[in-house]
Every structure is written in structure tokens, then in C-alpha cells.
Amino acid sequence: MNSLAPAVRARHLVKTYPRDVRALDSLDIEVAPGTVFGLLGPNGAGKSTTVKILTTLARPDSGSAEVAGHDVLRRPERVRRAIGVVAQKSGADPTATGRENLRLQGRLHGLSGAALDQRVDELLDRFTLTDAARRTVKGYSGGMRRRLDVALGLVHRPEVLFLDEPTTGLDPEARTAMWDEIARLAGDEGLTILLTTHYLEEADRLAERIAIVDRGRVVVTGTPDALKGELRGDAVHLELSEPLGEAGRTLLDGALGAVPGVSEAHHVGGRRITVRADDGAAAVPLLLGTLERVGVAVASATVARPSLDDVYLRYAGRRYAEAEADTAVTGQPALAGGAR
Ligand SMILES: Nc1ncnc2c1ncn2[C@@H]1O[C@H](COP(=O)(O)OP(=O)(O)OP(=O)(O)O)[C@@H](O)[C@H]1O
Ligand SMILES: [Mg+2]
């Protein structure tokens, strides 16, 4: 594989599930070799569907993708040899021990004899599972199980590793341990990692580049710092005492537009407004004065440096937590626009 060619390239991927669920709506991504790429999005955004297509487990309705230089539709067997996959749901056999799981996986990839023994020992050691190696997986903690999943994905030394939500469901301590593990893996020579997550913090911390996915398409891509840097100034979050109606919002938007150094007011639900300000601390008294003049009572005002959540709000038009809540109720992405 040409070292300059992307390790993963997806173009215009479209995937529709029965009942007209458009899981992917022309999704494009490109991952440079040897880097960690984060696919960040709320529940139902299309992350797992993307991973399934890139790992040859599903076919797109249209569009194309190459992984490690091989076309996923024309050369699926070559793609499979080049990749490791850690699915969102654990693939380990709970009734077998950690060591048995690894040995089986190794044999599936053609390892045997001393090479297999050595690789299994190496991975048990690396993922601090040596002491648990003889216990059946059903007795493992969530963190141990997830570490075993990652070890299983690495048995055959893949070029590209897919991690679909590696830390979802882990307690904070196990999550931090997994982050350290992934960061270490990223240092492995040549390994490219595509991870999906719905934790803003996880993408920020691990990925060199991220693509924010919403409703089956990439809404923005870049380094976490560049994305945050695009947002000038501070975010001021205002919580209102009473929800605002449509007329109140229009009135308020007009008034906010006249406050010096303030731009981009987003309404989130009826009671929260996020405003971008060149200087948040200086803007707060002006904002409070303005709201008071138009008769809107404020419960709280907080100033924050731009976060990935602000980036998401800007590009997806709703707060990240809102998008998560939308899909938590229906199990599907909301079709109507959110909170603008
Ligand atoms: N096998 C399937 N049959 C029908 N609909 C599906 C299927 N798989 C996924 N979907 C739908 O496609 C959309 C995208 O799902 P996908 O699993 O790719 O999202 P995701 O970003 O991985 O979400 P999560 O963070 O919850 O894992 C969702 O609306 C989902 O309900
Ligand atoms: Mg998923």
C-alpha cells in the first residue's frame, strides 16, 4: 500500500434500512495512515453502519470505500485480512476463558504452534489479562471484557483497527484505562485506528482528526483544536426562568443582535440560549441588561471556552445532549430540525 494513500476512504456512502431509515446519507471520510480518527456522533447517527460497511459486514446502497488500499466491495477478503474489528457488542465467547478466546481467534487467522502461544501471551500481558487468562469471560468486569475485545481485534497484527464505541458502558476508571490503552496503541508502528464514540471528551482526547456525524452525514471534519479554534471568543449560556414562545424569541434575537461583541444566538428548547461573545465576561452584564429591558428573566448565566459541543451546536444546529435525547426516545434520529 502506498504510504501516502489514505488508510480509509469512504465516498458518498448511502445506506437505507427498511421503513425508510436513511442510516447513511452520502457520508464521506478519509483517514491518514498511522493516525487515530474519531467518528463522533449521537445515538443513531450512523457510526456503526459506517463501520459495518468499512469492515465488509454490510453493503452500501451506493457509494464506495477503500480500506488499506482495497476496495471493500470488490476485495472484501483482502480488506478482512488487513483489519481488526472491535464491534460495539462484545464478540468474545463468555463461556470460554480469555486465553481460549484469543487462541481461537489466532487460529482463525492462521496462527498455530509457538507463534500462536507467543502472540496470545503477548496480548494477555499487554492488556493486563494474564492473571485472568484462565477464567471464563462471563466473570470478567466490563473493562476486562472490553480489553479482551481489543486484544482479539489485534491478534493478526492488522494495519487498520476499527473500534466501535470502545468505552460505552464502562465506569470512569475503566474508561480512563481504555483511553490510555488506545493512546498506546496509536503509537504502534503504522497502526491506523478508526474509533467511533458519542463522547465529545473521548474524541477530543484520542483522535488527531474527527468527523462529526449527524443523521448519516459528516457535518464537519478537522482536528479537535482547529474545530474549536473556528469558534471565536467564548460561549455564554443563559438559562431563562420561564420558557420563551416564538414571539419572545424573535423579540429577543433582535435585542441580542444589537449587543456589541455578541454574535450567533442559538435557542436550545425554550429556556436555554447560547450566545457567542468576543469576551464572555464583558458580555454578561450587557446581555443581562438587554434581557431585563425586554422583560425576560434570567435564572443563570455561565461563560465557557468553546468546546466540541459548541462545534456540534454550530454545525448540527442543536446541542449534543439534545440529539442524544431525541434518539433515546425513538431509537432513530429525529427527522425534524432541532432547537434553532
Ligand atoms: N439492522 C438495522 N435495521 C434497521 N435499522 C437499522 C439497522 N441498523 C441500524 N439501523 C438504523 O440506522 C440508523 C443508524 O444506526 P447506527 O447503528 O449506524 O447508529 P450509531 O451512530 O452507531 O448509533 P449508536 O451510538 O446508538 O450506536 C439508526 O436510525 C438505526 O435505528
Ligand atoms: Mg453504534
Q: If you take atom 4 of ligand 1, which residue's CA is the nearest one? A: 17
Within 8 A by CB and 6+ apart from 58, the residues are: 15, 49, 52
pLDDT at 278 over 80: yes
Q: If you take atom 16 of ligand 1, which residue's CA is the nearest one? A: 46
Ligand (nearest to CA of 21): 1
CA atoms lying within 13 Å on the CB side of residue 253: 12
Q: If you take atom 3 of ligand 1, which residue's CA is the nearest one? A: 17
Q: What pLDDT digit, counting tens, does each position of 5-26 carry?
A: 899 999 999 999 998 899 999 9
- The span from the CA of 116 to the CA of 124, in Å, is 12
Residue position matching grid coordinates 443523521:
215
Q: What pLDDT digit, counting tens, does each position of 61-80 carry?
A: 999 999 999 999 999 999 99
- The span from the CA of 228 to the CA of 232, in Å, is 8
Helix or strand or coil: residue 311?
A: helix
Which numbered atom of ligand 1 lies nearest the CA of 333?
29
Alpha carbon 209 to chain centroid distance? 11
pLDDT at 2 over 90: no
Around ion ligand 2, which residues have CB less than 5 A away?
Answer: 47-48, 88
Higher pLDDT, 332 or 205: 205
pLDDT at 332 over 50: no
Pocket test for ligand 1, best of 15, 17, 88 (most atoms within 8 A of CB): 17
Q: What pLDDT digit, counting tens, does each position of 158-176 carry?
A: 999 999 999 998 999 999 9
Q: What pLDDT digit, counting tens, does each position of 219-240 carry?
A: 999 999 888 887 778 889 999 9
Nearest to 118 by CA among 134, 102, 98: 102
Q: Is ligand 1 within 6 A of the CB of residue 45?
A: yes
Residue 327: the pLDDT is: 64
- Average pLDDT, stretch 114-129? 96
Which numbered atom of ligand 1 lies nearest the CA of 48?
22
Distances (CA, A) of 157 to 52, 120, 122, 153, 216: 20, 12, 12, 8, 31
For residues 187 and 36, is the Cβ–Cβ distance under 8 A? Answer: no
- Average pLDDT, stretch 207-229? 93
Distance from residue 322's CA to the centre of ligand 1 (Å): 18
- Average pLDDT, stretch 302-323? 84
Joined together, the cell numbers standing for residue 305 give 471556552
Q: If you take atom 27 of ligand 1, which residue's CA is the nearest one? A: 43
Residue 4: the pLDDT is: 67
Distance from residue 103's CA to the centre of ligand 2 (Å): 27
Q: If you take atom 18 of ligand 1, which residue's CA is the nearest one? A: 46
